[in-house]
Protein backbone atom coordinates (compact mmCIF):
# COMPACT_ATOMS: atom_id res chain seq x y z
CA UNK A 1 0.00 0.00 0.00
CA UNK A 2 1.39 3.35 -0.91
CA UNK A 3 1.86 6.00 1.73
CA UNK A 4 0.13 8.53 -0.50
CA UNK A 5 -3.21 6.82 -0.01
CA UNK A 6 -3.30 8.01 3.58
CA UNK A 7 -3.06 11.60 2.47
CA UNK A 8 -6.11 13.83 2.00
CA UNK A 9 -7.46 14.22 -1.55
CA UNK A 10 -6.06 16.91 -3.83
CA UNK A 11 -9.33 18.85 -3.63
CA UNK A 12 -9.21 18.82 0.15
CA UNK A 13 -5.57 19.83 0.21
CA UNK A 14 -6.17 22.70 -2.18
CA UNK A 15 -9.06 23.97 -0.04
CA UNK A 16 -6.83 23.98 3.01
CA UNK A 17 -4.04 25.70 1.12
CA UNK A 18 -6.08 28.61 -0.20
CA UNK A 19 -5.70 31.98 1.56
CA UNK A 20 -7.81 31.89 4.71
CA UNK A 21 -7.59 28.09 4.99
CA UNK A 22 -4.85 26.60 7.14
CA UNK A 23 -2.99 29.89 6.86
CA UNK A 24 -4.23 33.44 6.33
CA UNK A 25 -1.95 34.08 3.37
CA UNK A 26 -2.30 30.62 1.90
CA UNK A 27 0.09 27.95 0.69
CA UNK A 28 -1.41 28.43 -2.78
CA UNK A 29 -3.04 31.34 -4.58
CA UNK A 30 -6.83 31.48 -4.98
CA UNK A 31 -6.93 29.36 -8.14
CA UNK A 32 -3.52 27.73 -8.41
CA UNK A 33 -3.39 23.96 -8.91
CA UNK A 34 -1.35 22.00 -6.39
CA UNK A 35 -0.41 19.33 -8.91
CA UNK A 36 0.67 21.86 -11.54
CA UNK A 37 2.87 23.70 -9.03
CA UNK A 38 4.52 20.48 -7.87
CA UNK A 39 5.06 19.21 -11.43
CA UNK A 40 6.60 22.48 -12.59
CA UNK A 41 8.98 22.68 -9.68
CA UNK A 42 9.91 19.04 -10.19
CA UNK A 43 10.86 19.86 -13.76
CA UNK A 44 12.90 22.87 -12.67
CA UNK A 45 14.85 20.72 -10.22
CA UNK A 46 15.42 18.00 -12.80
CA UNK A 47 16.92 20.59 -15.14
CA UNK A 48 19.15 21.83 -12.35
CA UNK A 49 20.16 18.31 -11.34
CA UNK A 50 19.15 18.82 -7.71
CA UNK A 51 16.62 16.91 -5.61
CA UNK A 52 14.08 18.17 -3.08
CA UNK A 53 15.87 16.15 -0.43
CA UNK A 54 19.20 17.85 -1.14
CA UNK A 55 17.65 21.27 -0.72
CA UNK A 56 15.78 20.19 2.42
CA UNK A 57 18.95 18.79 3.93
CA UNK A 58 21.13 21.77 3.11
CA UNK A 59 18.52 24.14 4.56
CA UNK A 60 18.02 21.98 7.60
CA UNK A 61 21.74 21.88 8.36
CA UNK A 62 22.03 25.65 8.20
CA UNK A 63 18.86 26.30 10.21
CA UNK A 64 19.95 23.76 12.81
CA UNK A 65 23.19 25.65 13.41
CA UNK A 66 21.21 28.88 13.78
CA UNK A 67 18.80 27.25 16.22
CA UNK A 68 21.77 26.14 18.32
CA UNK A 69 23.26 29.63 18.30
CA UNK A 70 19.93 31.06 19.42
CA UNK A 71 19.44 28.56 22.20
CA UNK A 72 22.96 29.22 23.46
CA UNK A 73 22.23 32.93 23.68
CA UNK A 74 18.96 32.22 25.44
CA UNK A 75 20.30 29.74 27.98
CA UNK A 76 19.75 30.36 31.67
CA UNK A 77 22.65 31.82 33.54
CA UNK A 78 25.31 29.16 33.69
CA UNK A 79 27.12 28.02 36.80
CA UNK A 80 30.09 30.31 37.23
CA UNK A 81 28.89 32.72 34.57
CA UNK A 82 29.23 36.35 35.56
CA UNK A 83 26.08 38.45 35.57
CA UNK A 84 27.65 40.78 33.02
CA UNK A 85 28.34 37.91 30.66
CA UNK A 86 24.82 36.62 31.09
CA UNK A 87 23.42 40.07 30.37
CA UNK A 88 25.68 40.42 27.38
CA UNK A 89 24.20 37.25 25.91
CA UNK A 90 20.73 38.68 26.36
CA UNK A 91 21.75 41.90 24.67
CA UNK A 92 23.39 40.04 21.83
CA UNK A 93 20.21 38.05 21.32
CA UNK A 94 18.15 41.26 21.15
CA UNK A 95 20.58 42.82 18.69
CA UNK A 96 20.50 39.75 16.46
CA UNK A 97 16.73 39.32 16.52
CA UNK A 98 15.67 41.87 13.96
CA UNK A 99 12.27 40.85 12.63
CA UNK A 100 13.36 39.83 9.13
CA UNK A 101 11.80 38.57 6.97
CA UNK A 102 8.23 39.76 7.33
CA UNK A 103 6.66 37.57 4.68
CA UNK A 104 3.32 39.30 5.19
CA UNK A 105 4.94 42.46 3.84
CA UNK A 106 7.43 41.41 1.18
CA UNK A 107 8.14 45.04 0.34
CA UNK A 108 9.59 45.44 3.87
CA UNK A 109 12.31 42.83 3.26
CA UNK A 110 15.67 44.56 2.70
CA UNK A 111 17.09 43.94 -0.75
CA UNK A 112 20.47 42.58 0.24
CA UNK A 113 23.13 42.30 -2.44
CA UNK A 114 26.92 42.22 -2.71
CA UNK A 115 26.83 46.02 -2.52
CA UNK A 116 24.35 45.99 0.32
CA UNK A 117 25.34 43.25 2.76
CA UNK A 118 23.83 43.40 6.25
CA UNK A 119 25.92 43.93 9.39
CA UNK A 120 27.20 40.68 10.85
CA UNK A 121 26.01 41.91 14.27
CA UNK A 122 22.47 41.21 13.19
CA UNK A 123 21.07 37.81 12.31
CA UNK A 124 23.24 34.69 12.52
CA UNK A 125 26.31 33.66 10.58
CA UNK A 126 26.85 30.05 9.57
CA UNK A 127 30.47 29.85 8.50
CA UNK A 128 31.54 32.90 6.51
CA UNK A 129 29.14 32.26 3.71
CA UNK A 130 25.62 32.04 5.06
CA UNK A 131 23.86 34.79 6.94
CA UNK A 132 20.47 33.90 8.37
CA UNK A 133 17.67 36.04 9.77
CA UNK A 134 14.87 34.49 11.75
CA UNK A 135 11.39 35.90 12.35
CA UNK A 136 9.79 33.94 15.17
CA UNK A 137 6.03 33.56 15.54
CA UNK A 138 3.76 32.35 18.25
CA UNK A 139 1.77 29.29 17.39
CA UNK A 140 2.54 26.49 14.99
CA UNK A 141 1.58 26.18 11.35
CA UNK A 142 -0.16 22.89 10.69
CA UNK A 143 0.83 20.78 7.70
CA UNK A 144 -2.07 20.58 5.18
CA UNK A 145 -1.25 16.88 4.76
CA UNK A 146 -2.08 16.32 8.44
CA UNK A 147 1.41 15.20 9.37
CA UNK A 148 2.14 14.96 13.04
CA UNK A 149 5.70 16.13 12.63
CA UNK A 150 5.61 19.90 12.77
CA UNK A 151 9.09 20.87 13.74
CA UNK A 152 10.18 24.38 12.76
CA UNK A 153 6.71 25.54 11.91
CA UNK A 154 6.82 28.72 13.99
CA UNK A 155 9.40 30.85 12.20
CA UNK A 156 10.28 32.31 8.82
CA UNK A 157 13.82 32.74 7.60
CA UNK A 158 15.90 34.78 5.20
CA UNK A 159 19.02 32.98 4.06
CA UNK A 160 21.66 35.13 2.40
CA UNK A 161 24.74 33.79 0.66
CA UNK A 162 27.27 36.55 1.35
CA UNK A 163 29.61 35.33 -1.38
CA UNK A 164 27.12 35.89 -4.18
CA UNK A 165 24.88 38.47 -2.48
CA UNK A 166 21.71 36.53 -3.18
CA UNK A 167 19.10 35.37 -0.69
CA UNK A 168 16.01 33.26 -0.38
CA UNK A 169 13.11 33.54 2.08
CA UNK A 170 10.63 31.01 3.36
CA UNK A 171 9.00 29.38 6.35
CA UNK A 172 10.95 26.97 8.58
CA UNK A 173 8.31 24.41 7.69
CA UNK A 174 9.59 24.30 4.11
CA UNK A 175 12.16 21.70 5.16
CA UNK A 176 9.29 19.36 5.97
CA UNK A 177 7.21 20.39 2.95
CA UNK A 178 10.12 19.71 0.58
CA UNK A 179 11.21 16.46 2.12
CA UNK A 180 7.78 14.91 2.63
CA UNK A 181 5.65 16.54 -0.05
CA UNK A 182 8.04 17.97 -2.67
CA UNK A 183 6.23 21.27 -2.25
CA UNK A 184 7.83 24.73 -2.51
CA UNK A 185 4.42 26.42 -1.99
CA UNK A 186 2.46 28.16 -4.73
CA UNK A 187 3.78 30.88 -7.00
CA UNK A 188 1.17 33.22 -5.56
CA UNK A 189 1.99 32.42 -1.94
CA UNK A 190 4.24 34.84 0.00
CA UNK A 191 5.78 31.75 1.64
CA UNK A 192 7.04 30.25 -1.58
CA UNK A 193 10.71 29.29 -1.77
CA UNK A 194 11.85 29.76 -5.33
CA UNK A 195 13.59 26.50 -6.30
CA UNK A 196 16.18 27.92 -8.70
CA UNK A 197 17.03 30.68 -6.29
CA UNK A 198 17.35 28.25 -3.39
CA UNK A 199 19.73 26.12 -5.44
CA UNK A 200 21.93 29.14 -6.23
CA UNK A 201 21.93 30.46 -2.66
CA UNK A 202 22.73 27.05 -1.20
CA UNK A 203 25.40 26.44 -3.85
CA UNK A 204 23.89 23.13 -4.94
CA UNK A 205 23.73 21.60 -8.40
CA UNK A 206 26.10 20.25 -10.97
CA UNK A 207 27.77 23.57 -11.79
CA UNK A 208 29.02 24.07 -8.28
CA UNK A 209 32.35 22.89 -6.99
CA UNK A 210 32.01 20.25 -4.33
CA UNK A 211 33.77 21.08 -1.12
ZN1 LIG B 1 3.37 17.13 6.06
Residue-level pLDDT at 148? 81
Q: How far is the CA of 153 from the centre of ligand 1 (A)?
A: 11
Residue-level pLDDT at 1? 45
Residue-level pLDDT at 208? 47
Domain with 101 in it = 19-202
Q: For residue 1, tell me if it sits in a domain.
A: no
Q: For residue 127, tell me if it sits in a domain.
A: yes
pLDDT at 159 over 60: yes
Mean pLDDT of 164-190: 96
Q: How far is the CA of 69 from the centre of ligand 1 (A)?
A: 26
pLDDT at 91 over 60: yes
Q: For residue 172, tell me if it sits in a domain.
A: yes
pLDDT at 210 over 70: no
Q: How far is the CA of 119 from the centre of ligand 1 (A)?
A: 35
Q: For residue 180, tell me if it sits in a domain.
A: yes
Domain count for the chain, please give it: 1
Mean pLDDT of 93-119: 93
Q: For residue 34, tell me if it sits in a domain.
A: yes
Q: For residue 207, tell me if it sits in a domain.
A: no
Q: How far is the CA of 180 from the centre of ligand 1 (A)?
A: 6
H-only helix segments in 49-103: 52-74, 83-96
Q: How far is the CA of 4 from the centre of ligand 1 (A)?
A: 11
Q: How far is the CA of 115 from the centre of ligand 1 (A)?
A: 38
Q: Near ion ligand 1, which residues have CB within 5 Å? A: 143, 145, 147, 180
Q: How far is the CA of 155 from the centre of ligand 1 (A)?
A: 16
In this structure, the number of other CB atoms found within 10 A of the CB of residue 9 comes to 8
Mean pLDDT of 132-137: 93
pLDDT in tens, 111-130: 999 999 999 999 999 999 99
Q: Are strands 155-161 and 124-126 parallel, antiparallel or unpaired?
A: unpaired
Q: How far, in Å, CA of 2 to CA of 17, rounded? A: 23
- The fraction of the chain above a pLDDT of 70, given in percent, is 94
- The fraction of the chain above a pLDDT of 90, given in percent, is 80
* Phi, psi for residue 5 in degrees, rounded to 5: -65, -20
Amino acid sequence: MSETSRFPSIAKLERRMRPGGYSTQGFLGPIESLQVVIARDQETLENLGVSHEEIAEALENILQVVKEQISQLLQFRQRGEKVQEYRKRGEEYSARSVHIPDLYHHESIPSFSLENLPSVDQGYLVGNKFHVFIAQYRGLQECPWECEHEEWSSFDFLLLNREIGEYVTGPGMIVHLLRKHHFFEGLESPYRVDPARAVRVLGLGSNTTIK
